[in-house]
Chains A and B, each alone.
Chain A
Amino acid sequence: MASLKDIRGRIASVKNIRKITRAMEMISAARLRRAEQRIEHLRPYADALRRMTSRAAQAAENIPNLPILQEREQVSTVGILLVTGDRGLAGPFNSQIIRAGNRRATELRPDGAEVLWYASGRRGISSLQFRQLELGDSWAGFTDRPSFADARAIADGLTSAYVDGKVDRVEIFYNGYISAVNQEVRHETLLPLQQADVLGDDDDGDEDEDDPHSRALWIYEPDPEEILARLVPDYVEISIYRALLESTASEHGARMSAMRSASDNAGDMIDDLTLEANRQRQAEITQEIMEVVAGAEGLR
């Protein structure tokens, strides 16, 4: 049985751990707020881009024949992008993405499709390397605060791989942000883009104030077709950027919950240990009294 001194030592170390987990919880809470704001900041840009796309699509005589809009009949290689964090200690945040990716790879195998892995975040990279899986490309070092340039780098890499024929489809796995305590694994097909998603008119009608007469007066520089050819690939960048932002928010949320329960557990442990220490202390006192009494008894 542990001595009183051992127990007091353990109490002290658990208290220290609780200080750290509390601090990490607070830091994650602050970062979570910032990550949420960044998701909000993206919305006006994404909405404006969508409106511009549907306007250009209406003006264009035909939809340009872009490779990223074309579904391939023969899918021999599927690129899977895992969006993880650079650091752990965030509950199931990283492991559930890796698990979902592996499950998908097992599903694809019977169809004869090879998987080429892509990873964002050090956790995903090291897990894939550990399993000795083929890594197409990887990106890390920004998951605390992803910038649009980071998303563009990923989009450039994946789109090039798709257009140049290295992969025939690109799927993405990331933690979708629902709330601070609730995140879900999302699985989306990134490439080819669904024409309906990109060019579908938004039916909210807030841009319909211009009548067809004025539409003819628009100046397009260059042609609407060429503008569309540039706008459409931007969807890939925006989708990846949104996934990165949601993943960051989820990571902070997951870490916050994980650290909160770690702090709670530390508290419980301290209570148990304190009880145990008190019991031991009492036992020791009782023991000493017994010894004194027995000694006095012996002297009589």
Chain B
Amino acid sequence: MARNSFPVEVLTPEGKVFEDEVEMVSTRTTTGSIGVLANHAPLMAILEPTELRLYKSDSDVVRFAQGEGYLQVVDNSALVLVEEAIAPDDIDRSAFEARLKEAREAVERAEEGSEERARAQREVKRYEAFLEVTSG
């Protein structure tokens, strides 16, 4: 069954990566997975690194590996602001594996409870999520 579609824009600091009508946006916020359909109530949320799925239809799905960011839904249109949105085919596994290793080492090195450690942990989470997207 065809659902109503609504406009979605995905912006990153390096430019717009997606702008089209979709039936559903599927992503993850700090509180859990979320699927946004047309006519959703106004929403503002923090996004976690995960796989961002944009359902143009049941069979036509555009996927991105997303970094941290924000989701805003207002007036039946969604705005996804993420630090990174990489098409799964463009992910260089070995590069991200190296960075993941580096980030894990940084967590070990940093002092307990420091900002440095908190930021390194965020980095670990991000690269784990990116690698998961390519293996999935």
Given A148-B14, A221-B31, A222-B31: A160 and B119 within 8 A (CB)? Answer: yes
Q: Which of A113-121, A225-233, A291-299 contacts B (4 or more CB under 8 A)?
A: A225-233
> Which residues does chain B contribute within 8 Å of A49, judged by CB atoms?
70, 81
18 contacts between A and B (CB under 8 A): A38-B15, A42-B13, A52-B70, A148-B12, A152-B83, A156-B119, A156-B120, A159-B119, A163-B115, A164-B114, A164-B115, A164-B116, A219-B42, A219-B45, A221-B29, A221-B44, A222-B31, A227-B45
What is the size, in residues, of chain A's interface with B at 8 Å between Cβ atoms? 37
Check if A219 sits within 8 Å of B31, measured CB to CB: no
| B interface residues (Cβ-Cβ under 8 A, vs A) | 11-16, 29-31, 34, 41-46, 68, 70, 72, 74, 79, 81, 83-84, 111, 114-116, 119-120, 123
> Which residues does chain B contribute within 8 Å of A237, judged by CB atoms?
83
In the complex, A38→B14 CA distance in Å?
Answer: 7
In the assembled complex, the CB of A240 is this many whole angstroms from the nearest CB of chain B, namely: 11
> Which residues does chain B contribute within 8 Å of A48, judged by CB atoms?
11, 72, 79, 81
Check if A218 sits within 8 Å of B42, measured CB to CB: yes
State the 4 A-B residue pairs at the shortest beta-carbon distance, nearest first: A41-B15, A163-B115, A160-B116, A221-B45
A217 at the interface (CB under 8 A from B): yes
B30, closest chain A residue (CB): A222
> Which residues does chain B contribute within 8 Å of A210, judged by CB atoms?
42, 74
In the complex, A55→B44 CA distance in Å?
Answer: 10
A44 at the interface (CB under 8 A from B): yes
A-side interface mostly: helix
In the complex, A218→B79 CA distance in Å?
Answer: 15
B71, closest chain A residue (CB): A221
In the complex, A48→B78 CA distance in Å?
Answer: 12
In the complex, A49→B116 CA distance in Å?
Answer: 24
> Which residues does chain B contribute within 8 Å of A163, judged by CB atoms?
114-115
> Which residues does chain A contribute within 8 Å of B29, judged by CB atoms?
221
In the assembled complex, the CB of A165 is this many whole angstroms from the nearest CB of chain B, namely: 9
Contact string against B for A residues 238-279, beta-carbon threshold 8 Å, 1 for contact and 0 otherwise:
100100000000000000000000000000000000000000
A1 at the interface (CB under 8 A from B): no
Check if B42 sits within 8 Å of A148, measured CB to CB: no
Contact string against B for A residues 25-50, beta-carbon threshold 8 Å, 1 for contact and 0 otherwise:
00000000000001001101110110
Given A148-B83, A222-B30: A241 and B13 within 8 A (CB)? Answer: yes
In the complex, A160→B120 CA distance in Å?
Answer: 10
Check if B45 sits within 8 Å of A220, measured CB to CB: yes
Check if A227 sits within 8 Å of B116, measured CB to CB: no
A147 at the interface (CB under 8 A from B): yes
Check if A222 sits within 8 Å of B46, measured CB to CB: yes
In the assembled complex, the CB of A26 is this many whole angstroms from the nearest CB of chain B, namely: 25
Check if B14 sits within 8 Å of A227, measured CB to CB: no
Residue from B11, B44, B83, B120 in contact with A218 in the complex, judged by beta carbons closer than 8 Å = B44
Check if A227 sits within 8 Å of B115, measured CB to CB: no
> Which residues does chain B contribute within 8 Å of A2, judged by CB atoms?
none
> Which residues does chain A contribute within 8 Å of B30, judged by CB atoms?
221-222, 226
Residue from B70, B84, B119 in contact with A227 in the complex, judged by beta carbons closer than 8 Å = B70
A193 at the interface (CB under 8 A from B): no
In the complex, A98→B68 CA distance in Å?
Answer: 34
A214 at the interface (CB under 8 A from B): yes
In the complex, A163→B113 CA distance in Å?
Answer: 11
A56 at the interface (CB under 8 A from B): yes
Check if A238 sits within 8 Å of B44, measured CB to CB: no
In the assembled complex, the CB of B112 is this many whole angstroms from the nearest CB of chain A, namely: 12
A196 at the interface (CB under 8 A from B): no
> Which residues does chain B contribute within 8 Å of A218, judged by CB atoms?
41-44
In the complex, A164→B113 CA distance in Å?
Answer: 10
> Which residues does chain A contribute within 8 Å of B84, judged by CB atoms?
148-149
Check if A148 sits within 8 Å of B13, measured CB to CB: yes
Check if A45 sits within 8 Å of B119, measured CB to CB: no
> Which residues does chain B contribute within 8 Å of A220, judged by CB atoms?
43-45
